[in-house]
């Protein structure tokens, strides 16, 4: 027993030493990445390296953010996902928002070709019309994910760089801005790079304010969709009937958001639409499956559906936005 006790003691000691060594190595790696980031911001973007270092030293690793990104809503099946967004309360608030900002929405639609109902749906899904714009420090969120979330650290370090640039350009105090756990901000939840590239001063006051100005948010969401290929006056998706084997369906479905099939491909495989809907055989499409409690519901996504996924890379998100937009349009008509 004494020999076993000694073995267990030294085994535990060895494990503890290994753990400490691993943690030290990980800390050293993070320190090196932070130093590399500071040098990059100084050399590439002419920031004072001491200011960048002090700012990062003031940022906090937030475990709640790491927990949140590990369980995104988009991981839910469709029948659990859509009730979060398609509610009477959100619809009522959306109608109120549409009526309040009718002129801005009309102008955005005329200038970009993006329908008012899509713009209203996006802002409603993202922040419930400015009600929930996020509670996390954007600096802390991007710092946490950029240095402590290896699966997407490169992306979030890039967004952290964009955030420094954005706050310098727009005159924000980077310590004060709040947003989502992923660092998205304002009425439309733009990440820093999207804010820099797609935000517009839609009310002409000289400021691109997506944090507090719904008019700028309306114009910026519309501009984002236009720049990502929205096709005016074209449909988004059609509900589909599937009369084919499971194996054929598996061949047509893919996790990739890119469109690799034509309508002819789907039709030959046994997919059909309502009798009064016709598509060109060469129309680029994607077959989509949405999980219901007992079976799957199928839709045919068209290029405008793909454009919605440029805002959030999830077919569930895009379908929720589309269906909500249809509810809004019907209510306003």
pLDDT of 6 higher than 80: no
pLDDT of amino acid 15 = 43
Q: Which positions are annotated as active-site residues? A: 126
Residue among 128, 90, 81 at smallest CA distance from 319: 81
pLDDT in tens, 27-43: 889 999 999 999 999 99
How far is 289 from 282, CA to CA, in rounded Å? 21
pLDDT band (50, 70, 90) for residue 234: very high
2-38 burial, b for 16+ CB within 10 Å, e for fewer? eeeeeeeeeeeeeeeeeeeeeeeeeeeeeeeebeebb
Cα gap 164→51, rounded to integer Å: 11
pTM: 0.90
275-305 pLDDT, tens digit each: 789 999 999 999 999 999 988 999 999 999 9
Neighbours of 289 (CB within 10 A): 18
Which residue, among 172, 167, 193, 190, has the nearest Cα to 180 in the 3D structure? 190
């Amino acid at each position: 027993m004494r020999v076993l006790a000694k073995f267990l003691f030294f085994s535990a000691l060895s494990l503890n030493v290994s753990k400490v060594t691993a943690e030290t190595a990980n800390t050293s790696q993070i320190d090196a990445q932070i130093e590399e980031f500071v040098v990059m911001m100084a050399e590439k973007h002419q920031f004072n390296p001491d200011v960048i270092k002090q700012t990062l030293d003031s940022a906090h690793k937030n475990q709640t953010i790491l927990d949140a990104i590990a369980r995104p809503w988009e991981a839910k099946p469709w029948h659990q996902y859509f009730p979060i967004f398609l509610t009477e309360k959100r619809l009522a608030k959306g109608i109120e928002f549409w009526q309040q900002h009718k002129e801005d929405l009309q102008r955005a639609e005329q200038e970009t070709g993006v329908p008012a109902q899509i713009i209203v749906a996006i802002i409603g899904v993202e922040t419930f019309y400015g009600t929930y714009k996020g509670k996390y420090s954007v600096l802390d969120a991007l710092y946490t994910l950029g240095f402590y979330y290896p699966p997407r650290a490169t992306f979030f370090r890039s967004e952290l760089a964009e955030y420094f640039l954005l706050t310098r350009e727009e005159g924000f105090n980077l310590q004060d801005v709040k947003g989502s756990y992923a660092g998205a901000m304002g009425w439309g939840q733009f990440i820093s790079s999207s804010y820099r590239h797609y935000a517009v001063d839609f009310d002409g006051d000289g400021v691109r304010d997506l944090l507090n100005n719904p008019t700028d948010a309306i114009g910026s969401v519309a501009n984002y969709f236009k720049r990502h290929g929205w096709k005016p006056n074209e449909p988004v998706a059609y509900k589909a009937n599937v009369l084919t084997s499971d194996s054929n369906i598996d061949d047509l479905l893919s996790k990739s958001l890119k469109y690799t099939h034509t309508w002819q491909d789907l039709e030959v495989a046994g997919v059909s639409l309502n009798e009064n809907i016709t598509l060109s055989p060469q129309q680029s499409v994607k077959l989509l499956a949405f999980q219901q409690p007992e079976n799957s519901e199928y839709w045919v996504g068209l290029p405008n559906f793909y454009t919605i996924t440029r805002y959030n890379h999830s077919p569930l998100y895009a379908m929720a936005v589309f269906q909500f937009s249809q509810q809004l349009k019907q209510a306003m008509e």
